[in-house]
Amino acid sequence: MTDQPSGRSADSLTDRVARATPGAVVQRVRGLSDTAIAWLFISPTILLLLAINIFPLIWTVYLSFTNYRANRPGRAIDWVGTRNYERLLGNEDIWGYLQATAHFVVWTMVIQVFIGLSLALLINRNFKGASFWTTVILIPMMLSPAVVGTFWTYLYQPQTGIFSYIINLFVAVGPVDMIGSVDLAPWSIIIVDTWMWTPYIMLLCLAGLRSIPEYLYEAAEIDRANTWQKFWYITLPRIMPFLMLAVLFRGIENFKMFDMVVELTSGGPGSTTEVASINLKREAFEKWRTGYSSAFAVILFVTVFGLGNIYVKALNKVKQ
Amino acid sequence: MRIFGACLAAAALSVTAVTAMSTQEVQAQDKELTLCWAAWDPANALAQLGKDFTAESGIEMNYEFVPWTNFADRFINELNSGGKLCDLLIGDSQWIGGSATYGHYIKLNDFFEKEGISMDDFAPATVHAYSTWPKGTPNYWALPAMGDALGWVYRKDWFARPELREEFKAKYGHELEVPKNWTEVKHIGEFFQGRDIDGKKVYGLGIYTERGSEGITMGVTAAMYSWGFQYENPDKPYDMPGYVNSPEAAEALEFYKSLYDCCTPPGHSDAYMVANLDAYKSGQVAMQMNWFAFFPGIAKDEDVGGDKSGFFVNPAQNVAASTLGGQGISVVAYSDKKDMALDYIKWFAKSDVQKKWWSLGGYSCHVDVLNDPNFPNTAPFAADFLKAMDGVKDFWQEPTYAELLQSMQKRVHDYVVADKGTAKEALDKLVVDWTEVFEDDGKL
């Protein structure tokens, strides 16, 4: 069903576009080189990226050398040199926030990789109902972090929460105050993040496991390799790129973790779980120290960018 | 042709009707005001009161009530961005410095003069706290709207039990009654902590420990003011060493921590108004600190209201003093309806409106209400409210108040809840933080 003559329908798309292009435009385009045309096509995207990514970054770097405060529109912006950076690096509290962040990132990665890989190996056995359980395991990942943080505060409630109740089934220690205790609060956020994001690691590991050709295991069987040897010499190297990719994604996400922790602990008790992003938000949008918080943002950016680059290089080596 | 004519007429009529409706809608929108405040009991009373204004003026009132946890973030961002959401704003007392300095509120002096609204008609403490900037000068940026202070509520029915009274007296050597000082508060807290009452385990006290906004600062300062805390040298503004970290201040902070350690329910590490209310209303604690604004609701509560609850003013240790709450009502400078907003303020300032405001559960600051000889008998907490308002002290109201507040939240939460360092160290660090803030602001 076409209103075009049958001879025309056999034309290529390029021919039809060429015919439909007005003569004046054709003249103009004919005068351009291939490179110029390529630039013409990609320039909107480049402009968009410059506007929403590069410009804010450059602007943040500029602001980090000033005393600018976003809540004082009329006040002159003074250049303060490296003062914001000196203050930040000389502030022992900042090191505390970075330490809290590192504790959170490292432990969530270690635990999630261990549990995620174990779950993937289990699910990969294709037992009856494996698909159903895969879906069930993925549910936490589909929830909003803010919602997860809020409802876990109820689960952690020392007197009425189920967490304390379950602990007391095994050890009668009385109400367990996960959020209010300095020792337990860092673990409370690690547990919740693990509950929520282990499925993600599992999913990537599962993709890796499913990509391993069966003949490798058959060859190993012929060579009389045991289960551990098959895992160590075939499975692990084959899924390592997937695993490292999962760790990279989760590591970056957790480095800037905010909503779940705010809902769960507000950074407390004291500053025990005040991860870098919470402090950054407080400095930028509660204290309105825009220049100072820009400097902190730049430091965090450089840290994540640097670590990310090192990690990607390691990932590429593993792939090779 | 006739059909065409009829269609044309119908179309013309429809256009006219739609235009008329749109015009009415626009006019209706023009006759609307939006008032922004926190979402809590008094806000409901104000919405009720506002119906009278609508009936009188024909101006519809819309309300934007935001929970306390997001109140400051939401509305300070709104002001900073020059937003037009709020025509009228009942903002916290601490915001007045910044809002006046950065032009978020309009100055009301000329309007008050023109309309014959006298600040002498409002309690001096409330005018000072909610309306003026710079402090103590006759520059008015708000009309005192909601007087408030931190007070205490206790389980009168538990205190009246003879066996408990006897046991308490034997243990502490004084009666189980309204505490006269903070030491007695602690005795009561210890006495009820973990006690079995009517088959239920109860705890001593609900005190403020919230980290995110202003909670623990409001609680801690209730103790510190009673020990005689001062923010600065009275003769030399912003001179803080020796005042903020005075031995009395450190002792008060230490005492507050001891209350947290000895007498609060498990998990009470991030508690502010609502958490304290919940703990008290569910029969979990014997006493709670909270704002007077919540007391009408408690007095009427099905479970703990009536004779079951008693109220008292923040106890003195060295001096009688209470933490100031409450707010003034201001006209937002970015509003397109400033004239109507001023009409609302003019109406709200009337003596009879203020009387009704109190009767509905709002805390009027008008002298016609407060100086009425019958006022102390109008509610079980009315007399204590008057006492409290006589000795209120507020946190810094500087334009940099948010920075000052966040520093205090961190330092005192680190000490009281997270057990970091000593009270003196926490206050020493606070002096360093605050000095840096004032230096950056050019005041030191």
A70 touches chain B (CB under 8 A): yes
Residues listed for chain B: 444
B270 touches chain A (CB under 8 A): yes
Q: Which of A268, A285, A287 sits opposite B417 (nearest CB)?
A: A268
Residue A126 has a pLDDT of: 81
Residue B313 has a pLDDT of: 97
| Closest residue by Cα to residue A270 from B209, B339, B153 | B209
Query: Mapping DSSP to helix (H, G, I), strand (E, B) and coil, where does residue B34 land?
Result: strand
Question: What is the band of B24 on the pLDDT scale with cuts at 50, 70, 90?
Answer: low
In a domain, B431, yes or no: yes
Q: Are residues B81 and B158 in the same domain?
A: no
Element (H, E) at B420: none
Q: Are residues B54 and B106 in the same domain?
A: yes
Question: Token pair of B133, please?
Answer: 């900037």
Hey, what's the torsion of the CAs at B365, B319, B273, B34, to 10 degrees? 30
A134 touches chain B (CB under 8 A): no
B305 touches chain A (CB under 8 A): no
**CA–CA gap between residue A252 and residue A232 (Å, rounded):** 27
Element (H, E) at B356: helix B351-360
More confident residue, B14 or B315: B315
In a domain, B7, yes or no: no
The pLDDT tens digits of the residues spanning B75-90 come to 998 998 899 999 999 9
Question: What is the band of A7 on the pLDDT scale with cuts at 50, 70, 90?
Answer: very low
* Exposure letters B409-426 (e unless 16+ CB within 10 A, then b): bbbbbbbbbbebeebbeb
**CA–CA gap between residue B211 and residue B412 (Å, rounded):** 9
Residue A27 has a pLDDT of: 65
Q: Tell me if B317 sits within 8 A of B180, measured CB to CB.
A: no
Which sign does the torsion angle of CA A315, A144, A288, B215 carry? negative
In a domain, B6, yes or no: no
| Closest residue by Cα to residue B37 from B280, B271, B348 | B348
- Whether residue A4 is predicted with pLDDT greater than 50 in this model: the reply is no
Choose the weakest-confidence range: A107-111, A238-242, B28-32: B28-32
- Whether residue B4 is predicted with pLDDT greater than 60 in this model: the reply is no
Q: Are residues B279 and B301 in the same domain?
A: yes
Mean pLDDT confidence for B218-225 = 97
Q: Are residues B314 and B435 in the same domain?
A: yes
Residue B178 has a pLDDT of: 97
**CA–CA gap between residue A57 and residue A51 (Å, rounded):** 10
In a domain, B17, yes or no: no
Min Cα distance B202 → chain A (Å) is: 11
Question: What is the band of B16 on the pLDDT scale with cuts at 50, 70, 90?
Answer: low
| Closest residue by Cα to residue B410 from B394, B426, B425 | B426
In a domain, B2, yes or no: no
In a domain, B191, yes or no: yes
Question: Token pair of B23, please?
Answer: 């015009």
- Whether residue B314 is predicted with pLDDT greater than 90 in this model: the reply is yes
The pLDDT tens digits of the residues spanning B173-200 come to 999 999 999 999 999 999 999 999 999 9
Question: What is the band of A26 on the pLDDT scale with cuts at 50, 70, 90?
Answer: low
- Whether residue A236 is predicted with pLDDT greater than 60 in this model: the reply is yes
In a domain, B16, yes or no: no
Query: Mapping DSSP to helix (H, G, I), strand (E, B) and coil, where does residue B242 land?
Result: coil
Mean pLDDT confidence for A250-269 = 92
State the total domains in chain B: 2
Question: What is the band of A76 on the pLDDT scale with cuts at 50, 70, 90?
Answer: confident
Q: Are residues B343 and B410 in the same domain?
A: no
Q: Are residues B133 and B216 in the same domain?
A: no
Question: What is the band of B229 on the pLDDT scale with cuts at 50, 70, 90?
Answer: very high
The position carrying tokens 């230490």 is: B254
Query: Within 13 Å, how many C-alpha atoms sit on residue B279's CB side?
Result: 32
A236-242 long-range contacts, CB within 8 A, separation 24+: A238/A208, A238/A211, A238/A212, A239/A117, A239/A205, A239/A208, A239/A209, A239/A212, A240/A318, A241/A208, A241/A315, A241/A318, A241/A319, A242/A204, A242/A205, A242/A207, A242/A208
In a domain, B27, yes or no: no
**CA–CA gap between residue B58 and residue B52 (Å, rounded):** 10
The pLDDT tens digits of the residues spanning A277-305 come to 999 999 998 888 999 999 999 999 999 99
Q: Are residues B388 and B406 in the same domain?
A: no
Within 10 angstroms of residue B219's Cβ, the number of other Cβ atoms is 27
- Whether residue A21 is predicted with pLDDT greater than 80 in this model: the reply is no
Determine whether A103 is exposed, middle or buried from the number of CB atoms within 10 Å of its CB (0-12, 13-18, 19+). middle
B98 touches chain A (CB under 8 A): yes
Within 10 angstroms of residue A279's Cβ, the number of other Cβ atoms is 22
**CA–CA gap between residue B362 and residue B40 (Å, rounded):** 11
Chain B hits for A71, CB-CB cut-off 8 Å, are: 76, 80, 98, 102
Q: Residue B236 — φ and ψ, nearest 5°?
A: -140, 95
Q: Tell me if B346 sits within 8 A of B115, measured CB to CB.
A: yes
The residue ranges of every structural domain in chain A are: 87-319
**CA–CA gap between residue A139 and residue A203 (Å, rounded):** 12
- Best residue of B102, B207, B214, B270 to probe chain A, by most A CBs closer than 10 Å: B270
Question: Token pair of A17, please?
Answer: 């576009």
Sequence-ordered list of residues with C-beta below 8 angstroms from that of B288, at least 6 positions apart, any chain: B152, B153, B205, B206, B207, B276, B277, B279, B280
To the nearest 10 degrees (0 to 180), the angle between helices A290-319 and A55-63 is 130
Residue A3 has a pLDDT of: 45
- Best residue of B269, B416, B430 to probe chain A, by most A CBs closer than 10 Å: B269
Question: Token pair of A101, please?
Answer: 């962040």
Tell if the CB–CB gap between A159 and B440 is shorter than 8 Å.
no
More confident residue, A4 or B385: B385
Residue A1 has a pLDDT of: 39
Residue B19 has a pLDDT of: 52
Q: Are residues B137 and B272 in the same domain?
A: no
Q: Which of B265, B269, B403 sits opposite A268 (nearest CB)?
A: B269
Choose the weakest-confidence range: A10-14, A18-22, A129-133, B217-221: A10-14
Architecture of domain A87-319: Orthogonal Bundle (1.10)
Peptide bond connecting B138 to the previous residue in cis, omega within 30 degrees of 0: no
Q: Are residues B81 and B157 in the same domain?
A: no
Q: Residue A204 — φ and ψ, nearest 5°?
A: -65, -40
Element (H, E) at B119: none
Residue A317 has a pLDDT of: 84
Tell if the CB–CB gap between A71 and B270 is shorter than 8 Å.
no
For chain B, give the percent of residues with pLDDT over 70.
93
To the nearest 10 degrees (0 to 180), the angle between helices A236-255 and A185-210 is 140
Question: What is the band of A2 on the pLDDT scale with cuts at 50, 70, 90?
Answer: very low
Question: What is the band of A28 on the pLDDT scale with cuts at 50, 70, 90?
Answer: low
Q: Which of A158, A268, A270 sits opposite B267 (nearest CB)?
A: A158
Any idea what the CATH number is for the domain that residue B55 is in?
Answer: 3.40.190.10
Residue at which a domain ends, from B378, B393, B408? B393
Give strand ranges (E) for B172-279.
195-197, 200-206
Question: What is the band of A20 on the pLDDT scale with cuts at 50, 70, 90?
Answer: confident
Question: Token pair of A189, please?
Answer: 């956020």
- H-helix segments, A79-184: 83-89, 92-123, 130-138, 145-155, 162-170
B429 touches chain A (CB under 8 A): no
Q: How far does Cα B195 stand from its chain's mean position?
A: 32
Reported ipTM: the value is 0.81
More confident residue, A316 or A152: A152
Q: Tell me if A275 sits within 8 A of A190, measured CB to CB.
A: no
**Residue numbers of the domain that contains B47:** 33-148+326-393
B425 touches chain A (CB under 8 A): no
Choose the weakest-confidence range: A225-229, B18-22, B123-127: B18-22
Residue B9 has a pLDDT of: 55
Q: How far does Cα A232 stand from its chain's mean position?
A: 28
Distance spanning both ends of chain B, measured CA to CA: 86
Which sign does the torsion angle of CA B33, B38, B39, B44 carry? negative
Q: Are residues B83 and B182 in the same domain?
A: no
Residue B441 has a pLDDT of: 87
Question: What is the band of B66 on the pLDDT scale with cuts at 50, 70, 90?
Answer: very high
Chain B hits for A272, CB-CB cut-off 8 Å, are: 418
Q: Are residues B137 and B209 in the same domain?
A: no
Which sign does the torsion angle of CA A5, A7, A8, A13 carry? positive
